[in-house]
Chains A and B, each alone.
Chain A
Amino acid sequence: MHAFEFVKPSSIADAVKALASGEAIPLSGGQTLIPSMKARLNAPEVLVSLTGIAEMKGVCRDGDVLVVGAATTHAEVARAAAGDFPGLAGLAGKIGDPAVRSRGTIGGSLANNDPSACYPAAALGTGARIVTDRREIAADDFFQGMFTTALKEGEVITSVRLPIPEASAYAKFLQPASRFALTGVFVAKYAAGVRVAVTGASEGGVFRWAEAEAALSSDFDSEALSGLSVAAEGMISDLHGTPEYRAHLVRVMTRRAVAAAS
């Protein structure tokens, strides 16, 4: 690992100031960033720790929206969201392993936008709004392809506002070595319709499966998905699975998510 400086501000304003220096990047739970620095894939001059900022932590309900502080760990979301939003709590409680969940955060996961991460599916599947130090970004505009988001340099996610669905579930086909999703699907049912977000499958990162949303919006039953399929083109190909296999998994995991939610 290259040498770097470490600063730990206690307010969002101080964090933004520290990040303005250009060569600084934010550190949240560090479950991806620190290993990538050790592998020398990333070599920031300054790390700005976000874990000492109290206003970025915790889970609270604001009407029909669950507001999750960006520096809230997966373990905390699994615990605190269980009553108001069990679909989200279930997703958070199965990310990685317990030690990852003790440290990893929702803001870190969304900002990294790993194509196989779980949280992007929840954010896109709920139509969440990503709140930063300077604006709010709709999830549909936030995810812009593998490891790419709408965030500007130095912009910090401060909280995530997730509309609470009538019913929801996340079905994840586990890649057992990495514990990421080989394919994962988040399904959420609202009065206005159903949203379906898929992670782990596409080379473009998390995406919405529009045909399944339309079918499920008229009939929220896994049988409504009969006859629907996604194209293998553009799906991830690696030693764990072919594009065809992942396209098949999208259908299977969507059915399982609907069955678990209804």
Chain B
Amino acid sequence: MTISLTVNGTQFRTDAPPETPLLWVLRDELGLSGTKYGCGVAACGACTVHVDGQAVRSCQVALADVWGDVTTIEGLAQGERLAPLQEAWIRHQVAQCGFCQSGQIMQAADLLAANPAPSDDDIDAAMAGNLCRCGSYSAIRAAIHDAARAMNGGRAG
């Protein structure tokens, strides 16, 4: 059975079995290796992507259950122009080993879409399922605030 899905605005067709985790399709079939395989059981957040604008763990979503357009870390920038979150991540030098960071950024993008000026508590609650073994949490929080300010035209957020 051929399944078609739209990833970062481009439509793909795949013959992968319907039960294949979305993560494997993204990485192995489409070559989009920015999304990481961390724990494989939805306990770490490294594989976070958006489906229809909502953050989900792509290691847990079967290919045939994908219900909308998929956005991965590769689709966040507009051409050469990085997204505000990515720019803030660089300004704050958030990444240490970096393995969890694409998932962190995708989760943060989901948060800012719903809440353009989150508090520390809002950030902690929204990011609780995304683990960072290097402990970059304080830098992540600072970068999210910074990106929120940039997206709000420089106003406090």
Contacts and interface: CB of A to CB of B under 8 A. Distances in A.
A6 B45 contact: no
B18 interface: yes
Contact of B45 (A27, A75, A99): A99
Contacts of A31: 42, 60
Interface stretch (B49-57, B75-83, B149-157): B49-57
Interface stretch (B25-33, B62-70, B89-97, B137-145): B62-70
B19 A6 contact: yes
For B48, B60, B67, B128, the residue with the greatest tally of chain A CB atoms inside 10 Å of its CB is B60
Contacts of B65: 8, 30, 49, 51-52
A223 B3 CA distance: 59
A75 B65 CA distance: 17
A6 B129 CA distance: 27
Given A6-B18, A6-B62, A39 B41 contact: yes
B135 interface: no
A99 B107 contact: yes
For A47, A51, A75, A103, the residue with the greatest tally of chain B CB atoms inside 10 Å of its CB is A103
Interface residues of B, number: 27
A39 B40 CA distance: 10
B110 interface: yes
Interface in A174-196: 176, 179
A49 B60 contact: no
Nearest to A35: B41
Given A5-B19, A6-B18, A34-B42, A102 B56 contact: yes
Contact of A98 (B43, B67, B107): B107
Given A35-B60, A51-B67, A99 B129 contact: yes
18 contacts: A5-B19, A6-B18, A6-B64, A8-B64, A8-B65, A30-B61, A39-B41, A49-B64, A97-B130, A98-B55, A98-B110, A98-B111, A98-B126, A99-B45, A99-B56, A99-B57, A103-B57, A176-B128
Given A27-B62, A38-B40, A99-B55, 9 more contacts: A30-B60, A35-B60, A39-B41, A97-B126, A97-B128, A99-B45, A99-B48, A103-B57, A176-B128
